[in-house]
Amino acid sequence: MLPHIRTLGLVEYQPTWDAMKQFTAERSGETRDEIWLVQHPPTYTQGLSGKPEHLLNPTDIPVVKIDRGGQITYHGPGQIVAYLLLDMRRWKIGVRELVRLMEQAVIDLLADYSVVAEGREGAPGVYVNGAKIASLGLKIRNGYCYHGLAFNVDMDLAPFANINPCGYAGLRVTQACELGITAPLNELQAELAQHLVHGLQRHLASAGAGPARE
């Protein structure tokens, strides 16, 4: 069964994180997977291995210490956040494969608009001409994952200057609107979800399990 896509709009970070944890704690082998598509008010999130020195200039933007991997990143309106709440055994997928799948979904979406993007070995995310356009991080618990990816579309990038994005000093960030992509955010959101679902289907088929059904 394919993941249920939920479009939740602009939602506060903490309650959304709490809801992901609750969903994951209460789910069973029969629970349908979900992909949540959201935007967040201005928020910095600091991963489990996050070092406080990567917050260069504290501001009034809250810093939330969370349970995904990785360092500090920024979320704000105009950024698509896709949370993948998946049973990884159902999809026969490992962490590294899922990271590559999420990156490829963004790369394929950008390719639809004639933008060439790439991943980087050892530095998860998606990059265009050396600038990061999407970041990602996951939490795995009992074979289930949550968290996901953040794709910059049309947002205020200034808060990224207050951090070393994802722990990399001087890392440039970019967004879809700077690359000539004028499609509305809700369209890009739907297209990204489809690329994620198609990636999961392709992976499952390649694992010899046959395609997932609606």
Contact 131, 123 (CB under 8 A): no
Contact 17, 49 (CB under 8 A): no
Find the catalytic residue in 166, 176, 188, 193.
Answer: 166
Annotated binding-site members for substrate: 68-75, 135-137, 148-150
* Whether 177 is catalytic: no
- As a whole number of angstroms, the distance between CA 30 and CA 172 comes to 42
Q: What is the pLDDT along the chain (214 residues), one digit of tens a residue?
A: 899 999 999 999 999 999 999 999 999 999 999 999 999 999 999 998 888 899 998 899 999 999 998 889 999 999 999 999 999 999 999 999 999 999 999 999 999 999 999 999 888 999 999 999 999 999 999 999 999 999 999 999 999 999 998 888 889 999 999 999 999 999 999 999 999 999 999 999 998 755 455 4
Give the residue ranges of DSSP H helices in 52-140: 95-112
Q: What domains appear along the chain, each with residue ranges and CATH number?
A: 4-206 (3.30.930.10)
Q: Kindly list the strands in the beta sheet with 126-128, ordered across the sheet, starting from the edge strand earlier in the chain.
A: 4-10, 34-39, 79-87, 144-152, 131-141, 126-128
User: How does DSSP classify residue 1?
Assistant: -
Contact 196, 162 (CB under 8 A): no
Contact 128, 103 (CB under 8 A): no
